[in-house]
Structure 1
Amino acid sequence: MNVYKYSGTILLFLVLIICVATFFYFDRRDEISYVIRAWGFRGIIIAIVLIGLISTTPIPTESLMVLYLKIYGLYLGILYSWIGFIIGSLIIFIIARGYGQALVRKLIAADQINTVDSWVKRKGTMGLLIARLLPVPAFAVNYIAGVMPSMKLWPYLWTAIISMVPYYVSTGFIYLFATRKAWQWLILGSLIMIIFWSLSFALNKTKTS
């Protein structure tokens, strides 16, 4: 990976992590969370929009999702993050349709483009779903799929919606372990990720063999 090419993203990611850590430090008594929840619908919209914007970049949305788990709790935190990711996927589809291959090749490594392209050409919509299970960042799959002339909005969208559920649920369970020290949540969250990563590895081996 060209470090200079992604230096802006890396810097932004580090800033985000510092901001999240700072929030957790000063919100130990839930005072900030209480104020944000008091914003009501406005706070929810802001949270969803932020996740939507971040999901259009290489920065993992889980880095911001942990904030929502702290503020809104497990179920609503996952739900708002999920809705934000869906909106971000729609934004990427529009951007990809407007700016095409040139933008995608600037943002995404050639091997990732070839991997996703191969699965979609061979298996169609199911190939796209499989590609979303491979060890390729979600934002990259969205951009690659978005520029394909044959790709329709609905197959693009429903595969994105389904593929993020295991990641967000497992992140939520691991967060519960970190905050409540309940080992069953860590085991459950880790088990989901291991199953998902094992499936990704098996699919990737199938593709390359």
Structure 2
Amino acid sequence: MLNLYLLSYMTAENLNEWLERFRALGPLPGIFLTFMKSFVPPLPTAVIVGVNAAVYGLWLGFLYSWIGLVAGCMTTFLIVRAIASHSYFQRWAERPKVQKSMRWVRRNAFSFVFILSMMPVGPFAIVNTAAAVARMPKLPFFLAIAGGKAIMVLAVSYVGHDLSRFAERPYELLYVAGFLAFSFWVSRRAEAYFTRESE
């Protein structure tokens, strides 16, 4: 019931009104909303990021959304990593199917986190948890999350900042698609670098 209520409330109009009401608090409302995405999965990332850009402007909206998302992901990652040695997680991790999944995550950790972080919708909590349980090193996780979220937030902020422009000229979305494709290529290069470093 709570999930349905959140989904029905989290419209662009309601979020815009909420951010404007608390505008006196500076960047905190925009950062808080994106931070909570890691703990409340139903929150619509693309809507929140787009509204941040509309309320705070393209660059400040981008910055606040990016800070909130990265901080939320790092917090959940560090919490799960700290408790992953608990006997419950150890028993869960010993299952054959889980072991097979963990081996895959360890081999493809940077690419797994980076590419899924670029998506405006996705199982972010699961990504953070899987990376933590697989004992992905903190620095590569941070770089993968920070890079992937920066690309996603910039693309969504760019569209959300001036939505009417893209409604009139939808072909300009090709630039956003090109930017995402280029970012994917960069992620593969980064993954090759980290794989080489860890060998």
Quick check: TM above 0.5? yes
User: Normalised by the shorter chain, which TM-score bucket?
Assistant: 0.5 to 0.7
Partner deviation per Cα, 1:61-117 (whole Å, 9 max, x = no partner): 2221122111111111111100001110122023313444868xxxxxxx9x78973
The aligned residue for residue 190 of structure 1 is: 177
In structure 2, relative to structure 1, the CA distance for the partners of 1:144 and 1:52 (3 Å cut) is: same
Looking at structure 1, the residues matched to 27 and 99 of structure 2 have their Cα atoms a distance apart, in angstroms, of 37
Partner deviation per Cα, 1:17-73 (whole Å, 9 max, x = no partner): 3xx33355x69xxxx74x644x1xx33123212211123332342221122111111
Looking at structure 2, the residues matched to 81 and 62 of structure 1 have their Cα atoms a distance apart, in angstroms, of 10
Q: Which amino acid aligns with 1:167?
A: M
Q: Which amino acid aligns with 1:128?
A: A
1:81 lines up with 2:65 in the alignment: yes
In structure 2, relative to structure 1, the CA distance for the partners of 1:91 and 1:116 (3 Å cut) is: farther
Q: Which amino acid aligns with 1:163?
A: G
Looking at structure 1, the residues matched to 64 and 76 of structure 2 have their Cα atoms a distance apart, in angstroms, of 18
TM-score scaled by length of structure 1? 0.64
TM-score scaled by length of structure 2? 0.66
- In the alignment, which of 134, 149, 169 is matched to residue 164 of structure 1? 149
1:71 lines up with 2:55 in the alignment: yes
The count of aligned residue pairs is 171
In structure 2, relative to structure 1, the CA distance for the partners of 1:140 and 1:9 (3 Å cut) is: farther
In structure 2, relative to structure 1, the CA distance for the partners of 1:174 and 1:93 (3 Å cut) is: same
Looking at structure 2, the residues matched to 14 and 131 of structure 1 have their Cα atoms a distance apart, in angstroms, of 31
Q: CA deviation at 1:131?
A: 0.6
Q: CA deviation at 1:137?
A: 2.9
SS class of match (1:169): helix
- Asked whether the 8 Å contact 1:173–1:185 carries over to 2, the reply is no
The aligned residue for residue 197 of structure 2 is: none
1:153 lines up with 2:138 in the alignment: yes
Identity across matched positions, percent: 22
Gaps spanning 5+ residues in structure 2: where? 90-96, 188-199
Looking at structure 1, the residues matched to 138 and 164 of structure 2 have their Cα atoms a distance apart, in angstroms, of 39
In structure 2, relative to structure 1, the CA distance for the partners of 1:63 and 1:46 (3 Å cut) is: same
SS class of match (1:58): coil
Q: CA deviation at 1:165?
A: 1.9
